[in-house]
Amino acid sequence: MKLVVAVIKPFKLDDVRQALSGIGLQGLTVSEVKGFGRQKGHAELYRGAEYVVDFLPKIKVEAAMDDDRVEQAIEAICQAARTGKVGDGKIFVLPLEHVVRIRTDEVGVAAL
């Protein structure tokens, strides 16, 4: 089992959710986060004064899945989240050692 974590632009969340639903993924967790990568933030004007925004708003999407669905999920996220501009995001794939569904005590893939 794997945990796929994608950090994307906020306005792409609905597209990514629909793409993951389209491949049959049933559940995901979404968090509002802030960060920066190669963009290094940007400068903005507010009432005539310029200030630097170091951390940009992003969305973190997490989805647990069986190993055989990972490549399909990565492809779906990439297609849905891509704008072609700096800051489109990143995808991380982490191993999941153990999963338990609290309500039924199911474990492993059955708990997903």
Domains and CATH numbers, the chain: 2-111 (3.30.70.120)
Q: What is the DSSP letter of 84?
A: S
pLDDT level of residue 36 (50, 70, 90 thresholds): confident
| pLDDT at residue 100, rounded to an integer | 96
Q: What is the DSSP letter of 100?
A: B
How long a stretch of residues is the chain?
Answer: 112
* pLDDT tens, position by position, 70-82: 999 999 999 999 9
pTM for the model stands at 0.86
pLDDT level of residue 47 (50, 70, 90 thresholds): confident
Whole-number Å distance between alpha carbons of 74 and 45: 37
- Contact at 8 Å (CB) between 40 and 66? no
